[in-house]
């Protein structure tokens, strides 16, 4: 609910993520239609302000992962969207693959649809204390279960805490905000140079080394706070903007104004005008692990412990869900 609602495909790590993101995007398209969830935005506009970023994007364009994407010159970018400042740009990567939903309305609609059309029984406000097929122990009594998929998100202490600790699962906290409408439509979800170091499909290319050196010299504080730019527009024109990344399982619940200033500084540099008024601020938290993008563990033959450990569950969750069900039920 606290996330951008962005199904990101382009730039995802080839290893274990890109395929799942493409499959999940397909499922989102079908599910959104059936569940009445509006796709509020499509596509990605990655604005590169540095020659090193443009070189990295050119290398990316030569790979099969850039299928359907194009690299625009600043003049071509200007023709596509006159509202964003293209004067300081080297290039824009345009991807048609991304989808965006408003998570706050999409998640309740998803649950309603699953209950109404597929007979899924939700037990809200119920804590599971133990997953031991053929039963679950919950705060509202036992529940029969032939098999169990445990997906605890960033709750690392209730179920299988030792297994999660052994797999090196920790927490990442993020600062986010919603800005009032800027008064124009974005050409897709907007990202910038800093994003090229956060997504494995870009950051894994050798050309990222020169960009990292330059960003360390010019935006070291952004990198220290894990700040990169995502600007995602809602149907009312408002903008969900983020984010930062602080890695600490026991992070304090306090949001740092300096971090918001860094995010908004990058916003102004990319959009070319001051940010609209802030409507909301919030902190989010997700599970993270150095070992990989997702943990799929089998504590017992009929239990799977499944955790997205890279903050991209909205982009990959449907594919991971299909694989988990296939694994448990064949
Ligand atoms: C600020 C932010 C922005 C993000 N933006 C994006 C984005 O744009 N695109 C993207 O792809 N991903 C994004 N993500 C990541 C994405 O939201 C997560 O990867 C995704 O929500 C993980 O889904 P999940 O169902 O596994 O876990 P969660 O969404 O964390 O849900 C787990 C649920 O299980 C419940 N639970 C845990 N333990 C128990 C228990 N013992 N008993 C009962 N209930 C329990 C929790 O209360 C929670 O409701 C973002 C994350 C954050 C925090």
Q: Looking at residues 12-18, what average pLDDT do you find?
A: 92
Q: How much distance in Å is there from the Cα of 287 to the middle of ligand 1?
A: 8
Q: Looking at residues 137-155, what average pLDDT do you find?
A: 97
Q: How far apart are CA 266 and CA 192, in angstroms?
A: 8
Confidence of residue 302 (pLDDT cuts 50, 70, 90): very high
Q: Strand 303-308 relative to strand 148-150: parallel, antiparallel, unpaired?
A: parallel
Q: Name every residue whose Cβ is closer than 8 Å to that of residue 313 and which is 6 or more positions away in sequence.
A: 286, 320
DSSP 5: -
Q: CA angle, corner 115, sides to 110 and 119, nearest 5? A: 135
Per-residue pLDDT tens over the stretch 214-263:
999 999 999 999 999 999 999 999 999 999 999 987 878 899 999 999 99
Q: Looking at residues 18-30, what average pLDDT do you find?
A: 97
Ligand 1 atom closest to Cα of residue 286: 53
Per-residue pLDDT tens over the stretch 189-201:
999 999 999 999 9
Contact 201, 39 (CB under 8 A): no
Q: How much distance in Å is there from the Cα of 85 to the middle of ligand 1?
A: 34
- pLDDT the model gives residue 204: 96
Order of all β-strands in the sheet with 135-138? 128-132, 135-138, 141-144
Residue 85 pLDDT more than 90?
Answer: no
Mutating to test ligand 1, I would choose from 12, 132, 297, 312 the residue with most ligand atoms within 8 A of its C-beta, which is: 312
Residue 326 pLDDT more than 90?
Answer: yes
Contact 232, 41 (CB under 8 A): yes
- pLDDT the model gives residue 165: 97
Q: Name 72's bridge partners.
A: 92
- pLDDT the model gives residue 251: 79
Residue with tokens 């699962």: 169
Residue 11 pLDDT more than 90?
Answer: yes
Q: How far apart are CA 107 and CA 5, in angstroms?
A: 10
- pLDDT the model gives residue 18: 96
pTM, entire model: 0.95
Ligand 1 atom closest to Cα of residue 306: 26
Tokens linked to 227: 């700040």
Mutating to test ligand 1, I would choose from 4, 8, 145 the residue with most ligand atoms within 8 A of its C-beta, which is: 4
Confidence of residue 15 (pLDDT cuts 50, 70, 90): confident
- pLDDT the model gives residue 16: 87
Q: State percent of the chain over pLDDT 90.
A: 95
| Residue of the CA atom closest to atom 16 of ligand 1 | 313
Contact 101, 40 (CB under 8 A): yes
Task: Name the strand (E) or helix (H) holding 159.
Answer: none
Contact 311, 288 (CB under 8 A): yes
- pLDDT the model gives residue 198: 96
Ligand 1 atom closest to Cα of residue 307: 26
Q: How much distance in Å is there from the Cα of 47 to the middle of ligand 1?
A: 28
- pLDDT the model gives residue 59: 98
| Residue of the CA atom closest to atom 5 of ligand 1 | 3
- pLDDT the model gives residue 257: 97
Q: Looking at residues 82-86, what average pLDDT do you find?
A: 89
Per-residue pLDDT tens over the stretch 90-130:
999 999 999 999 999 999 999 999 999 999 999 999 999 99
Q: How much distance in Å is there from the Cα of 29 to the middle of ligand 1?
A: 20
Residue with tokens 């999660």: 164
| Residue of the CA atom closest to atom 21 of ligand 1 | 313
- pLDDT the model gives residue 250: 81
Q: How much distance in Å is there from the Cα of 96 to the middle of ligand 1?
A: 26
Q: How much distance in Å is there from the Cα of 314 to the middle of ligand 1?
A: 8
Ligand 1 atom closest to Cα of residue 5: 8
Q: Looking at residues 266-273, what average pLDDT do you find?
A: 95
Q: How much distance in Å is there from the Cα of 1 to the middle of ligand 1?
A: 8
Q: Name 239's bridge partners.
A: 179, 233
Q: How much distance in Å is there from the Cα of 61 to the middle of ligand 1?
A: 32
Q: How much distance in Å is there from the Cα of 132 to the middle of ligand 1?
A: 23
Contact 239, 178 (CB under 8 A): yes
Residue 76 pLDDT more than 80?
Answer: yes
| Residue of the CA atom closest to atom 39 of ligand 1 | 152
Residue 174 pLDDT more than 90?
Answer: yes
């Amino acid at each position: 609910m606290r996330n951008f609602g962005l199904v990101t495909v382009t730039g995802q790590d080839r290893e274990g993520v890109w395929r799942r993101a493409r499959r999940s995007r397909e499922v989102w398209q079908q599910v959104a239609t059936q569940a009445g969830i509006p796709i509020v935005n499509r596509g990605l506009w990655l604005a590169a302000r540095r020659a090193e970023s443009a070189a990295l994007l050119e290398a990316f364009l030569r790979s099969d992962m850039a299928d359907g994407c194009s690299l625009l010159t600043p003049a071509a970018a200007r023709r596509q969207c006159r509202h964003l400042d293209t004067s300081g740009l080297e290039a824009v990567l345009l991807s048609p693959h991304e989808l965006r939903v408003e998570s706050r309305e999409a998640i309740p609609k998803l649950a309603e649809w699953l209950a109404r059309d597929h007979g899924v029984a939700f037990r809200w406000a119920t804590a599971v204390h133990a997953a031991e097929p053929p039963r679950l122990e919950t705060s509202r009594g036992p529940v029969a279960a032939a098999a169990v998929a445990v997906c605890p998100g960033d709750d690392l202490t209730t179920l299988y805490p030792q297994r999660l600790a052994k797999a090196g699962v920790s927490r990442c906290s993020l600062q986010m905000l919603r800005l009032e409408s800027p008064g124009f439509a974005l050409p897709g979800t907007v990202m910038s140079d800093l994003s090229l170091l956060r997504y494995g499909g870009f950051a894994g290319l050798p050309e990222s080394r020169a960009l990292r050196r330059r960003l360390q010299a010019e935006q070291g504080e952004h990198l220290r706070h894990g700040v990169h730019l995502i600007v995602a527009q809602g149907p009312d024109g408002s903008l969900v903007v983020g984010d930062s990344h602080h890695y600490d399982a026991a992070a304090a619940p306090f949001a740092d104004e300096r971090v918001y200033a860094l995010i908004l500084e990058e916003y102004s540099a990319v959009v070319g005008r001051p940010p609209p008024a802030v409507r909301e601020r919030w902190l989010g938290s997700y599970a993270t692990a150095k070992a990989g993008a997702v943990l799929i563990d089998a504590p017992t033959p009929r239990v799977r412990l499944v955790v997205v450990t890279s903050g991209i569950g909205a982009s990959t969750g449907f594919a991971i869900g299909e694989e988990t069900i296939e694994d448990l039920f064949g």
